Amino acid sequence: MVEADTVLVERDGPVSIVSINRPHCRNAVDGATARKLYDAFLAFDADEGASVAVFTGTGGCFCAGADLKAVATGDPNKKREIGGHDSVAPMGPSRLRLSKPVIAAVEGFAVAGGMELALWADMRIVAEDATFGIFCRRFGVPLIDLGTIRLPRLIGHSQAIDLILTGRPVGGPEAHRMGIANRLVPKGEARARAIALAKEIAQFPQNCLRADRQSALRQWDLEEEEAIRNEMRGGLEVIASGETLSGATRFASGIGRHGAFGDKVGDG
């Protein structure tokens, strides 16, 4: 495999599909691949025609974490410095706060840094036989792609500290019970189901969706009063864009009544 093939980017309508493509090492990420992932997601965020990204891996595996063989040989491209939201993280994009949603499609292993990449996504569509886990516990490799921050926020401190301290494997059903997995699907269907969900999300008015998503993310950084003001600022910008009036007009004309998500009157 040539180096240029380690990250694949495809388009399916409004959906960008970003795949780690190092199946010979269960999609473990070396420094060069981390940079390619970072660049791929920045390009997605800047692409006006793309609304949602699906993040996955080839060869039946999401990501087995950092390429420790590369680390052991002194990978010069493996970044470990302290950085902000826009810097390249050791696994690539995990410090980025994009303006659009990302859905992880998880088959096989999503462990160590690979689990941190899955946690970075907004949602996770997970195969029933997938495995999560802080497997780097046994090798003295720390969680420095926001795993110690996102995991407790996602599933609560008690469950998170269990996984962080023990490094034990977590199968698909338990991951779903914990809240790591948003959807549990049969083996081999995670990618297709994630793309289908991404297309559904892409149909919604995007200014409003993105403003609500950003507010939900930013509120973790803010005191309650500032979080309230931030939510209102984003909402007023959406209203000023005309998107809310357009939606209200569609509703008044009979579209989307009774909880319907399509254009047929009276559905739902």
pLDDT at 33: 97
In order of 4, 74, 82, 226, the CA distances from 119 in angstroms are 26, 27, 19, 26
Q: Does pLDDT of 118 surpass 50? A: yes
Q: What share of the chain is helix, strand, coil (3-state, %, to 5)?
A: 45, 15, 35
Distance CA 128, CA 172 (A): 5
Q: pLDDT tens across 71-113, in order?
A: 888 776 665 666 667 789 999 999 999 999 999 999 999 999 9
Q: Does pLDDT of 4 surpass 70? A: no
Q: Mean pLDDT across the stretch 233-248? A: 84
Instruction: Report the chain's C-alpha Rg in angstroms.
Output: 19
pTM for the structure as a whole: 0.88
